[in-house]
Structure 1
Amino acid sequence: MASTAKASVEADYLEFAAARSSALFRIACLLTGDWHLAEDLVQETLGKVYVSWRRVSAADSPSAYADAILVRTFLSYRRKRSSSEMPTGSLPDRGYAADDPGLRLTLLDGLARLPERDRAVLILRYWEDRSVEEAAEALRMSPGTVRVRSLRALRRLRRLLGDQLPQLAEC
Protein backbone atom coordinates (compact mmCIF):
# COMPACT_ATOMS: atom_id res chain seq x y z
CA MET A 1 0.00 0.00 0.00
CA ALA A 2 2.79 2.44 0.91
CA SER A 3 4.60 1.78 -2.36
CA THR A 4 1.42 2.61 -4.29
CA ALA A 5 1.08 5.94 -2.47
CA LYS A 6 4.75 6.71 -3.08
CA ALA A 7 4.38 5.85 -6.77
CA SER A 8 1.37 8.14 -6.98
CA VAL A 9 3.29 11.02 -5.35
CA GLU A 10 6.22 10.47 -7.71
CA ALA A 11 3.91 10.34 -10.72
CA ASP A 12 2.30 13.63 -9.63
CA TYR A 13 5.73 15.23 -9.25
CA LEU A 14 6.92 13.94 -12.65
CA GLU A 15 3.78 15.28 -14.32
CA PHE A 16 4.28 18.67 -12.66
CA ALA A 17 7.98 18.79 -13.54
CA ALA A 18 7.31 17.91 -17.19
CA ALA A 19 4.58 20.55 -17.45
CA ARG A 20 6.52 23.32 -15.65
CA SER A 21 10.11 22.79 -16.88
CA SER A 22 9.80 24.96 -19.99
CA ALA A 23 8.36 27.90 -18.09
CA LEU A 24 11.02 27.57 -15.38
CA PHE A 25 13.72 27.48 -18.04
CA ARG A 26 12.32 30.59 -19.72
CA ILE A 27 12.30 32.48 -16.40
CA ALA A 28 15.81 31.24 -15.58
CA CYS A 29 17.12 32.39 -18.99
CA LEU A 30 15.65 35.82 -18.42
CA LEU A 31 17.11 36.03 -14.93
CA THR A 32 20.59 34.81 -15.81
CA GLY A 33 21.12 35.67 -19.46
CA ASP A 34 23.06 32.40 -19.64
CA TRP A 35 21.53 29.26 -21.15
CA HIS A 36 23.80 26.84 -19.26
CA LEU A 37 23.32 28.51 -15.90
CA ALA A 38 19.56 28.57 -16.57
CA GLU A 39 19.61 24.79 -17.06
CA ASP A 40 21.51 24.38 -13.78
CA LEU A 41 19.05 26.61 -11.92
CA VAL A 42 16.07 24.69 -13.28
CA GLN A 43 17.65 21.38 -12.32
CA GLU A 44 18.41 22.63 -8.81
CA THR A 45 14.91 24.10 -8.50
CA LEU A 46 13.23 20.87 -9.58
CA GLY A 47 15.38 19.00 -7.07
CA LYS A 48 14.24 21.32 -4.28
CA VAL A 49 10.63 20.99 -5.45
CA TYR A 50 10.97 17.18 -5.35
CA VAL A 51 12.34 17.20 -1.82
CA SER A 52 9.45 19.44 -0.70
CA TRP A 53 6.83 17.96 -3.04
CA ARG A 54 4.21 17.27 -0.36
CA ARG A 55 4.35 20.92 0.75
CA VAL A 56 4.56 22.23 -2.83
CA SER A 57 1.64 20.14 -4.08
CA ALA A 58 -0.49 21.29 -1.14
CA ALA A 59 0.14 24.97 -1.92
CA ASP A 60 -2.54 27.13 -3.53
CA SER A 61 -0.36 27.44 -6.62
CA PRO A 62 2.41 24.87 -7.01
CA SER A 63 3.64 26.73 -10.10
CA ALA A 64 4.06 29.97 -8.16
CA TYR A 65 5.77 28.01 -5.38
CA ALA A 66 8.24 26.54 -7.88
CA ASP A 67 8.83 29.98 -9.42
CA ALA A 68 9.60 31.36 -5.97
CA ILE A 69 12.11 28.57 -5.37
CA LEU A 70 13.73 29.35 -8.75
CA VAL A 71 14.04 33.07 -8.01
CA ARG A 72 15.44 32.45 -4.52
CA THR A 73 17.91 29.92 -5.92
CA PHE A 74 19.01 32.49 -8.52
CA LEU A 75 19.43 35.24 -5.92
CA SER A 76 21.36 32.85 -3.67
CA TYR A 77 23.64 31.94 -6.56
CA ARG A 78 24.26 35.62 -7.32
CA ARG A 79 25.27 36.26 -3.71
CA LYS A 80 27.68 33.31 -3.73
CA ARG A 81 29.22 33.90 -7.16
CA SER A 82 32.73 35.26 -7.11
CA SER A 83 33.30 38.78 -8.39
CA SER A 84 35.79 37.51 -10.98
CA GLU A 85 33.09 35.80 -13.05
CA MET A 86 31.42 37.79 -15.79
CA PRO A 87 27.98 36.81 -17.15
CA THR A 88 27.52 36.55 -20.88
CA GLY A 89 25.18 38.89 -22.70
CA SER A 90 23.63 36.36 -25.06
CA LEU A 91 20.53 34.24 -24.70
CA PRO A 92 19.67 31.12 -26.67
CA ASP A 93 17.81 31.41 -29.96
CA ARG A 94 15.07 29.01 -28.96
CA GLY A 95 11.53 29.46 -27.84
CA TYR A 96 11.19 33.16 -28.56
CA ALA A 97 8.71 34.35 -31.14
CA ALA A 98 8.38 38.09 -31.65
CA ASP A 99 7.23 40.48 -34.31
CA ASP A 100 10.55 42.34 -34.10
CA PRO A 101 13.44 40.14 -32.96
CA GLY A 102 15.76 43.16 -32.78
CA LEU A 103 13.48 44.88 -30.32
CA ARG A 104 13.20 41.71 -28.24
CA LEU A 105 17.00 41.41 -28.13
CA THR A 106 17.27 45.07 -27.13
CA LEU A 107 14.80 44.49 -24.31
CA LEU A 108 16.62 41.35 -23.14
CA ASP A 109 19.91 43.24 -23.20
CA GLY A 110 18.36 46.02 -21.12
CA LEU A 111 17.00 43.49 -18.62
CA ALA A 112 20.41 41.83 -18.35
CA ARG A 113 21.95 45.17 -17.35
CA LEU A 114 19.53 45.70 -14.45
CA PRO A 115 20.38 44.62 -10.90
CA GLU A 116 19.25 41.05 -10.15
CA ARG A 117 16.34 41.90 -7.85
CA ASP A 118 15.01 44.56 -10.24
CA ARG A 119 15.27 42.10 -13.11
CA ALA A 120 13.45 39.44 -11.07
CA VAL A 121 10.64 41.89 -10.20
CA LEU A 122 10.14 42.93 -13.83
CA ILE A 123 10.24 39.38 -15.15
CA LEU A 124 7.72 38.11 -12.64
CA ARG A 125 5.43 41.14 -12.90
CA TYR A 126 5.43 41.82 -16.64
CA TRP A 127 6.91 38.84 -18.46
CA GLU A 128 5.18 36.19 -16.35
CA ASP A 129 2.17 38.47 -15.70
CA ARG A 130 2.14 37.91 -11.94
CA SER A 131 0.21 40.10 -9.53
CA VAL A 132 2.09 42.32 -7.09
CA GLU A 133 1.16 39.93 -4.29
CA GLU A 134 2.38 36.84 -6.18
CA ALA A 135 5.68 38.52 -7.06
CA ALA A 136 6.07 39.71 -3.46
CA GLU A 137 5.56 36.19 -2.16
CA ALA A 138 8.01 34.70 -4.65
CA LEU A 139 10.66 37.31 -3.86
CA ARG A 140 9.96 37.44 -0.12
CA MET A 141 9.30 41.18 -0.28
CA SER A 142 6.38 43.25 0.79
CA PRO A 143 3.90 44.22 -1.94
CA GLY A 144 4.91 47.87 -1.44
CA THR A 145 8.56 47.01 -2.09
CA VAL A 146 7.58 45.16 -5.27
CA ARG A 147 5.62 48.21 -6.48
CA VAL A 148 8.50 50.60 -5.76
CA ARG A 149 11.07 48.27 -7.34
CA SER A 150 8.83 47.88 -10.39
CA LEU A 151 8.60 51.62 -10.89
CA ARG A 152 12.30 52.21 -10.37
CA ALA A 153 13.32 49.25 -12.53
CA LEU A 154 11.05 50.42 -15.37
CA ARG A 155 12.62 53.90 -15.15
CA ARG A 156 16.11 52.39 -15.29
CA LEU A 157 15.12 50.19 -18.22
CA ARG A 158 13.70 53.20 -20.10
CA ARG A 159 16.95 55.11 -19.50
CA LEU A 160 19.01 52.14 -20.68
CA LEU A 161 16.94 51.71 -23.84
CA GLY A 162 17.03 55.41 -24.68
CA ASP A 163 15.72 56.15 -28.18
CA GLN A 164 14.49 52.56 -28.69
CA LEU A 165 11.68 53.18 -26.18
CA PRO A 166 9.05 54.44 -28.68
CA GLN A 167 9.28 51.11 -30.51
CA LEU A 168 8.94 49.28 -27.20
CA ALA A 169 5.81 51.20 -26.24
CA GLU A 170 4.09 50.14 -29.48
CA CYS A 171 4.57 46.39 -28.84
Structure 2
Amino acid sequence: MDSEAGFADFVGQWSPALLRVAFLLTGDRGLAEDLLQTALLKTSRRWSKLADHRAAYPYVRRVLVTTYASWRRRHRVGEVLTDQLPEHGGAGGEPVPTGRAVAALDALPPRMRAVIVLRFYEDLSEADTAAALGCSVGSVKSQASRGLARLRVELSPPADLLMHREDAS
Protein backbone atom coordinates (compact mmCIF):
# COMPACT_ATOMS: atom_id res chain seq x y z
CA MET A 1 0.00 0.00 0.00
CA ASP A 2 1.42 3.37 -0.92
CA SER A 3 2.11 6.02 1.69
CA GLU A 4 -0.72 8.36 0.63
CA ALA A 5 -3.34 5.60 0.80
CA GLY A 6 -1.99 4.48 4.18
CA PHE A 7 -2.36 7.99 5.56
CA ALA A 8 -5.89 8.29 4.16
CA ASP A 9 -6.81 4.97 5.82
CA PHE A 10 -5.34 6.18 9.10
CA VAL A 11 -7.31 9.44 8.94
CA GLY A 12 -10.53 7.59 8.16
CA GLN A 13 -10.08 5.15 11.01
CA TRP A 14 -8.74 7.42 13.77
CA SER A 15 -10.18 10.88 13.13
CA PRO A 16 -13.27 10.40 15.36
CA ALA A 17 -11.16 9.33 18.36
CA LEU A 18 -8.61 12.09 17.75
CA LEU A 19 -11.39 14.66 17.41
CA ARG A 20 -12.74 13.65 20.83
CA VAL A 21 -9.27 14.15 22.34
CA ALA A 22 -8.97 17.52 20.59
CA PHE A 23 -12.43 18.51 21.88
CA LEU A 24 -11.48 17.58 25.44
CA LEU A 25 -8.33 19.66 25.13
CA THR A 26 -10.00 22.73 23.62
CA GLY A 27 -13.57 22.54 24.92
CA ASP A 28 -14.80 23.89 21.59
CA ARG A 29 -15.92 21.92 18.54
CA GLY A 30 -14.56 24.40 15.99
CA LEU A 31 -11.18 24.74 17.70
CA ALA A 32 -11.02 20.95 18.07
CA GLU A 33 -11.56 20.52 14.34
CA ASP A 34 -8.88 23.13 13.60
CA LEU A 35 -6.49 21.47 16.04
CA LEU A 36 -7.06 18.05 14.49
CA GLN A 37 -6.59 19.38 10.97
CA THR A 38 -3.34 21.07 11.99
CA ALA A 39 -2.09 17.88 13.67
CA LEU A 40 -3.02 15.78 10.63
CA LEU A 41 -1.30 18.24 8.30
CA LYS A 42 1.87 18.09 10.40
CA THR A 43 1.65 14.29 10.43
CA SER A 44 1.08 14.04 6.68
CA ARG A 45 4.37 15.83 6.10
CA ARG A 46 6.20 13.22 8.19
CA TRP A 47 4.08 10.17 7.30
CA SER A 48 6.63 8.54 5.01
CA LYS A 49 9.29 8.90 7.73
CA LEU A 50 7.27 7.12 10.42
CA ALA A 51 8.93 3.76 10.94
CA ASP A 52 5.78 2.00 12.13
CA HIS A 53 2.46 3.32 10.86
CA ARG A 54 0.68 1.18 13.46
CA ALA A 55 2.13 3.56 16.09
CA ALA A 56 0.75 6.63 14.33
CA TYR A 57 -2.13 7.20 16.78
CA PRO A 58 0.18 7.99 19.73
CA TYR A 59 2.31 10.13 17.43
CA VAL A 60 -0.66 12.21 16.25
CA ARG A 61 -2.02 12.41 19.80
CA ARG A 62 1.29 13.93 20.89
CA VAL A 63 1.17 16.36 17.97
CA LEU A 64 -2.36 17.33 19.14
CA VAL A 65 -1.16 18.00 22.68
CA THR A 66 1.95 19.95 21.70
CA THR A 67 0.06 22.00 19.11
CA TYR A 68 -2.69 22.73 21.66
CA ALA A 69 -0.09 23.89 24.20
CA SER A 70 1.56 26.06 21.56
CA TRP A 71 -1.78 27.63 20.60
CA ARG A 72 -2.58 28.35 24.24
CA ARG A 73 0.75 30.10 24.77
CA ARG A 74 0.38 32.25 21.64
CA HIS A 75 -3.31 33.05 21.92
CA ARG A 76 -4.09 33.92 25.50
CA VAL A 77 -7.47 35.34 24.57
CA GLY A 78 -10.54 34.70 26.71
CA GLU A 79 -12.44 31.68 25.54
CA VAL A 80 -16.19 31.38 25.27
CA LEU A 81 -17.52 28.39 27.19
CA THR A 82 -20.29 26.38 25.63
CA ASP A 83 -22.66 23.71 26.84
CA GLN A 84 -22.93 22.41 23.28
CA LEU A 85 -21.28 19.09 22.53
CA PRO A 86 -20.27 17.63 19.21
CA GLU A 87 -23.28 16.27 17.32
CA HIS A 88 -22.36 12.69 18.17
CA GLY A 89 -19.98 10.77 20.38
CA GLY A 90 -18.27 9.38 17.29
CA ALA A 91 -17.43 5.80 16.47
CA GLY A 92 -17.29 3.51 19.45
CA GLY A 93 -19.84 5.49 21.44
CA GLU A 94 -17.42 6.56 24.19
CA PRO A 95 -19.03 9.08 26.50
CA VAL A 96 -18.04 12.70 25.96
CA PRO A 97 -18.13 14.98 29.01
CA THR A 98 -21.04 17.38 29.13
CA GLY A 99 -21.40 21.08 30.02
CA ARG A 100 -20.13 21.21 33.61
CA ALA A 101 -17.36 18.69 32.97
CA VAL A 102 -16.13 20.56 29.90
CA ALA A 103 -16.25 23.86 31.79
CA ALA A 104 -14.33 22.30 34.68
CA LEU A 105 -11.71 20.92 32.28
CA ASP A 106 -11.47 24.31 30.60
CA ALA A 107 -10.67 25.93 33.95
CA LEU A 108 -7.50 23.82 34.25
CA PRO A 109 -4.17 25.08 32.95
CA PRO A 110 -3.22 23.54 29.56
CA ARG A 111 -0.58 21.10 30.88
CA MET A 112 -2.82 19.88 33.71
CA ARG A 113 -5.73 19.50 31.31
CA ALA A 114 -3.56 17.49 28.91
CA VAL A 115 -2.48 15.18 31.75
CA ILE A 116 -6.09 14.60 32.82
CA VAL A 117 -7.24 13.92 29.24
CA LEU A 118 -4.37 11.55 28.46
CA ARG A 119 -4.44 9.70 31.80
CA PHE A 120 -8.16 9.31 32.32
CA TYR A 121 -9.83 9.69 28.93
CA GLU A 122 -7.14 8.10 26.78
CA ASP A 123 -6.31 5.68 29.65
CA LEU A 124 -2.55 6.05 29.27
CA SER A 125 -0.21 4.94 32.02
CA GLU A 126 1.77 7.56 33.92
CA ALA A 127 4.89 6.61 31.94
CA ASP A 128 3.09 6.81 28.59
CA THR A 129 1.56 10.16 29.53
CA ALA A 130 4.98 11.46 30.53
CA ALA A 131 6.42 10.29 27.22
CA ALA A 132 3.55 11.89 25.27
CA LEU A 133 4.06 15.21 27.05
CA GLY A 134 7.85 15.09 27.21
CA CYS A 135 7.99 15.40 30.99
CA SER A 136 8.80 13.25 34.03
CA VAL A 137 6.50 10.65 35.58
CA GLY A 138 6.62 12.70 38.81
CA SER A 139 5.28 15.71 36.95
CA VAL A 140 2.42 13.61 35.55
CA LYS A 141 1.59 12.32 39.04
CA SER A 142 1.54 15.76 40.61
CA GLN A 143 -0.41 17.35 37.73
CA ALA A 144 -2.96 14.50 37.80
CA SER A 145 -3.37 14.75 41.57
CA ARG A 146 -3.84 18.53 41.50
CA GLY A 147 -6.09 18.36 38.46
CA LEU A 148 -8.36 15.72 39.98
CA ALA A 149 -8.59 17.73 43.20
CA ARG A 150 -9.62 20.83 41.25
CA LEU A 151 -12.17 18.85 39.21
CA ARG A 152 -13.68 17.39 42.40
CA VAL A 153 -14.18 20.91 43.77
CA GLU A 154 -15.58 22.21 40.47
CA LEU A 155 -17.93 19.26 39.97
CA SER A 156 -19.14 18.77 43.54
CA PRO A 157 -22.78 19.62 44.10
CA PRO A 158 -23.47 23.06 45.58
CA ALA A 159 -23.72 23.11 49.38
CA ASP A 160 -27.36 24.27 49.36
CA LEU A 161 -28.30 21.25 47.21
CA LEU A 162 -26.58 18.90 49.67
CA MET A 163 -28.41 20.51 52.61
CA HIS A 164 -31.71 20.13 50.73
CA ARG A 165 -31.03 16.41 50.18
CA GLU A 166 -30.25 15.90 53.88
CA ASP A 167 -33.47 17.66 54.86
CA ALA A 168 -35.50 15.42 52.56
CA SER A 169 -34.19 12.20 54.12
Query: TM over 0.5: same fold?
Result: yes
Where structure 2 has 5 or more consecutive residues not aligned to the other structure, the ranges are: 159-169
Is 1:86 matched up with 2:78?
yes
Is 1:38 matched up with 2:35?
no
Contact kept in structure 2, 1:71 and 1:120, CA below 8 Å: yes
**Deviation for aligned residue 1:60:** 6.6
Q: Structure 1 residues 123, 61: closer, same or farther in 2, change over 3 A?
A: same
Q: Structure 2 length normalisation: TM-score?
A: 0.82
Provide the residue aligned with 1:95 in structure 2: 88
Match of 1:148 among 142, 146, 149: 142
Where structure 1 has 5 or more consecutive residues not aligned to the other structure, the ranges are: 1-6, 165-171
Give aligned-pair identity as a percent.
34
Match of 2:46 among 49, 52, 71: 52
Is 1:123 matched up with 2:117?
yes
Q: Structure 1 residues 105, 60: closer, same or farther in 2, change over 3 A?
A: same
**Deviation for aligned residue 1:87:** 1.2
The superposition leaves residues 114-153 of structure 1 with CA deviations (integer Å, 9 ceiling, x where unpaired) of: 1111111001110111111221111111112111111111
Give the helix-richer structure, 1 or 2. 1
Q: Structure 1 residues 113, 163: closer, same or farther in 2, change over 3 A?
A: same
Q: Structure 1 residues 63, 93: closer, same or farther in 2, change over 3 A?
A: closer
> How many equivalent residue pairs?
154
**Which runs of 4 or more aligned residues in structure 1 lie more than 6 Å from their structure 2 counterparts after TM superposition?**
none
Q: Aligned equivalents of 1:50 and 1:98: distance in 2?
A: 27
**Deviation for aligned residue 1:54:** 2.7
Match of 1:162 among 138, 141, 156: 156
Contact kept in structure 1, 2:104 and 2:155, CA below 8 Å: yes
**3-state secondary structure, aligned to 2:88:** coil
Is 1:14 matched up with 2:8?
yes
Q: Which amino acid aligns with 1:54?
A: S
Q: Give the aligned CA root-mean-square deviation in angstroms.
A: 2.3
Provide the residue aligned with 1:61 in structure 2: 55
Q: Aligned equivalents of 1:117 and 1:72: distance in 2?
A: 10
Q: Structure 1 length normalisation: TM-score?
A: 0.81
Q: Structure 1 residues 87, 55: closer, same or farther in 2, change over 3 A?
A: same
Q: Aligned equivalents of 1:98 and 1:132: distance in 2?
A: 22
**Deviation for aligned residue 1:98:** 8.3
